[in-house]
Amino acid sequence: METSDTQEIDIEAIVRNRLGKRSRYVPGFLFRWLKRFIHQDFINAYLRQGRTGVDFCTGGLQYLGVTVNVEGRENLPHDGRLLIFVSNHPLGAIDGVTLGSVLGQEYDGQVVYLVNDLLMNLKGLAPLCVPVNKVGRQSRNSSMQVAEAFRSRRHAILFPAGLCSRRQNGEIRDLPWRRSFVKLSVEHRRDVVPIHFIGQNSNRFYRVAQWCKRLHLPNFAMAYLPDEMYRSRGGVYTVRIGKPIPWQTFDNTKKPDEWAQKVKNLVYEL
């Protein structure tokens, strides 16, 4: 088993660091509530195991007692071609960990996520990650890291919606997919493998997300994801893998945005 230096979560330290001197006005009971709300002790008990890379993902599923059924494994190529795996994002945590485990084991650890740079704070997951949502001075460095990842022999895992799924017209479905994976597929001549992850968060999560949208508030629903992960203990999920889409498919008959939505629709048909 690979190991890394343990980096435990300390929500009080994070809040105090962000608020600076203003943090002295935050009452102690609020910090205690936050620790319980994000299940800090439960998460840290796992982080202390020191797992890293694909083993971090696989161990996380075992720690949560999650069962994963994989359908369409025969669609995974093993002929040397480089791939981009694109999936819907219904859960915001377990789905990402699951694909890291399933695909990481299938391809001997040669996988990489394109993720929000906040996830780089998880040392166990960081070896599999390339940050893509940086701004300002870091944006050029981020672009260089993405280009380097796609020049490597590692297969890429993307959630093109960026955010996890929302309830729309009574259906749990991703927001519009971003077109970047289409451009990356053509530029680096990587076939795209569509994946449908079947699962959903609690009704509470979708209500919070909906109210944030209605009131034009920040994405506070994201704060609920640790609790959603905790609630997934003992859960059973299904991963459906479709046939690879040749990179040549993404020609000029459609705009990249249109191709992205077409692939998204294909995912939900799996």
What's the pLDDT band for 3 if we cut at 50, 70, 90? very low
**Cα–chain center distance at 240:** 17
Q: Which tens digits make up the pLDDT trace of 219-234? A: 778 888 888 999 999 9
Strands of the chain, DSSP E: 67-71, 83-87, 111-115, 129-131, 155-158, 166-168, 171-173, 191-198, 236-241
Q: Which tens digits make up the pLDDT trace of 75-91? A: 999 999 999 999 999 99
Higher pLDDT, 109 or 221: 109
Q: Which tens digits make up the pLDDT trace of 4-18? A: 455 777 777 777 777
pLDDT winner (highest mean) among 42-51, 170-179, 254-263: 254-263
Q: Is residue 136 predicted with pLDDT exceeding 70?
A: no
CATH 3.30.9.10 given to domain 65-269: no
pLDDT of residue 139: 59
Q: What residue spans define the domains of the chain?
A: 1-50, 65-269
Q: How many Cα atoms sit within 13 Å of 168 on the Cβ side? A: 9
